[in-house]
Structures are given as structure tokens and as C-alpha cells.
């Protein structure tokens, strides 16, 4: 009976991992599609919250925060290794919290990897800052990746157990 409960729990955790990954990945790709449609014809950004938060289309051919590393290994092979490792960790997740963490990280990595393979660049559109002091423009995949990493740090530092 205990084995059956354990198998059921593992299946639920795996379903959460897959659902989080799928939902965030679909939302990321949809928002990028619509932002390209909406923002391509504009010459200036759309202010959402004054100048603090705006929509501004950027095609980023570089890595995180615009770091230029132009070789096949860093653009394609290294992310594939990372995606494979995160899939492994997501499948091995013990708790729902871990499944959410790995689902967010996987969706973020896959969302930008899909852009890079399909287009040769990543579509970014969320622009935050004050006047000329701006954070690098980002997208939903970047947000999911950062939130997943922050949750992972919280889990490592504050959550007891496995």
C-alpha cells in the first residue's frame, strides 16, 4: 500500500513539473508572437506604468544581459546540456515545490532556446527602469528562469529536508 502512495505522489509531482513547463512555455511564445505583431510597426515604446515599465521590442542576438559570445557551443550545445540536466532534475523532483522550481527553469530555458534556434535571436519586450537607467529588456522566459532560480535559492537556504 505504501508503494502505491509513493508512486501516486511521484506521478503528481511529475504532472506538476510538466504542466508548469508547458503553461509557461506556451505563454512565453504567445506573448512574444503578439508583442512582435503589436510593436513591430511602432517607433517608440508603449508606457504601461509611466516610464518605469514599458513595452519595447528588442531582438537580442546575444546571451543573458546582451553578453556577446558568438560560437556554436555557447549558443546551442551548452543550452542543450542545461535543458537535459533540468529535465533530469524535474523528473527526479520529490516535492511539488521542486517540480514548480524545475518547471519554471526549464520553461525559461526552452523559451529562449526555441527563439535562438528558430530565429537566431531572442525576442525581448519588457523594459523597466527610471529615465536613462534601464534594466536590460527581457521576456516571460527570462522572468520564469529568474523566479525559478530565486525559488531554488530559497529552497536550498530555508527549506529543511531533501
Q: How far apart (Å, rounded) are the C-alpha atoms in residues 81 and 36?
A: 29
From the list 28, 115, 124, 127, the catalytic residue is 124
Q: Has 28 been annotated as catalytic?
A: no
Q: Catalytic residue, from 28, 115, 127, 142: name it.
A: 142
Q: Per residue in 94-128, pLDDT tens?
A: 899 999 999 999 999 999 999 999 998 999 999 99
pTM (global) more than 0.75: yes
Cell numbers for 75: 549558443
Q: Residues 42-74: pLDDT tens digits?
A: 888 899 999 899 999 999 887 666 666 667 667
Phi, psi angle pair for 32, to nearest 5°: -65, -45
Radius of gyration of the chain (CA): 18
Is the dihedral angle over the CA atoms 134, 38, 28, 81 positive or is it negative? Answer: negative
Distance of alpha carbon 139 from alpha carbon 29, whole angstroms: 10
For this structure, is 51 an active site residue?
Answer: no
Q: Please tell me what DSSP assigns to residue 161.
A: -
Amino acid at each position: 500500500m505504501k508503494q502505491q502512495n509513493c508512486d501516486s505522489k511521484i506521478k503528481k509531482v511529475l504532472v506538476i513539473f510538466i504542466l508548469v513547463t508547458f503553461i509557461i512555455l506556451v505563454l512565453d511564445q504567445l506573448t512574444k508572437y503578439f508583442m512582435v505583431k503589436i510593436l513591430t510597426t511602432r517607433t517608440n515604446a508603449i508606457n504601461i506604468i509611466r516610464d518605469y515599465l514599458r513595452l519595447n521590442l528588442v531582438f537580442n542576438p546575444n546571451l543573458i544581459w546582451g553578453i556577446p559570445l558568438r560560437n556554436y557551443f555557447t549558443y546551442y550545445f551548452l543550452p542543450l546540456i542545461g535543458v537535459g540536466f533540468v529535465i533530469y532534475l524535474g523528473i527526479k523532483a520529490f516535492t511539488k515545490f521542486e517540480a514548480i522550481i524545475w518547471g519554471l527553469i526549464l520553461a525559461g530555458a526552452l523559451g529562449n532556446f526555441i527563439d535562438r534556434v528558430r530565429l537566431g535571436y531572442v525576442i525581448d519586450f519588457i523594459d523597466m527602469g527610471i529615465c536613462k537607467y534601464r534594466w536590460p529588456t527581457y521576456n516571460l522566459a527570462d522572468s520564469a528562469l529568474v523566479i525559478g532560480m530565486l525559488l531554488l535559492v530559497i529552497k536550498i537556504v530555508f527549506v529543511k529536508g531533501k
